[in-house]
Amino acid sequence: MRTAEMDWRAIEDWVRHDDRAVLPLGSTEQHAGLSLATDAILAERVAAEAAEPLGIPVFPVMPFGLTPYFSAFPGTVTLRLATYAALIRDMLDSLKRSGFRRILIVNGHGGNQPAALLAQEWMMDNPDARVRFHNWWQAPLTRAAVMAVEPVAGHASWIENFPWTRLPGAETPAKAKPMADVDHMHTVPPFEAREALGDGNFGGLYRRSDEEMMGIWNVAVAETRALLEGW
């Protein structure tokens, strides 16, 4: 259940019998013709759909993350690593004070990977709590479902093109884009990364059928839910 639909009394009642919570992490960054909030939208939605049948509280997604390589694209918001580390720790501290001891972080942005190490560090100081870090789109079953549809899938390509990340009126190129040299992109300043990427898509088709996308989405939701159920 989204905490946006709860008050503090509902949280207090929940932690009397269950100490699980979900914290989605996202990003606000360029996604070619898709929403700037794509990573945040997907992380929060997969978390909410996974937790809904279990009644587990899902906190609002953290909409900003680590994305310095896209900072030359207008609309991208990136945090410094020290800022992000402090935010992750403060959020985990706050959840623990509320009574949560098992926290599933559902991450929607590859650049947020340092949060996994931050969670490990936090548990070192909080041995009575547990944190699981879940890159929902890279989890084994979800990744296998993606590969079964199309092995070529990059940032801002079809793999992130869901009905809820599309923008009204935005046209989708019909042809696949050649894959960018992503390793090189991470070694140059942001303005050079923008020049190399053009519209921002890393490569591959821009869109696949909604039927194929929903098949992948259902796997991702079930795989995320299994982590909560198995705790």
Strand partners, 21: 103
The Cα angle at residue 219 between residues 163 and 227, in degrees rounded to 5:
120
Domain 3-229 superfamily per CATH: Creatininase (3.40.50.10310)
CB 216 within 8 A of CB 142: yes
Cα separation, 115 vs 108, in Å, equals 12
CB 136 within 8 A of CB 97: no
pLDDT in tens, 62-92: 999 999 999 999 999 999 999 999 999 999 9
Residue 68 DSSP code: G
pTM for this entry:
0.96
The full set of domain ranges for the chain reads 3-229
The Cα angle at residue 84 between residues 110 and 20, in degrees rounded to 5:
75
The residue among 123, 122, 88 whose CA lies nearest residue 107 is 88
Average pLDDT on 212-222 reads: 98
Count of residues for the chain? Answer: 231
CB 38 within 8 A of CB 31: yes
Cα separation, 106 vs 47, in Å, equals 6
Would you say the C-alpha torsion 206, 112, 19, 12 has a positive or negative sign? negative
pLDDT in tens, 22-56: 999 999 999 999 999 999 999 999 999 999 999 99
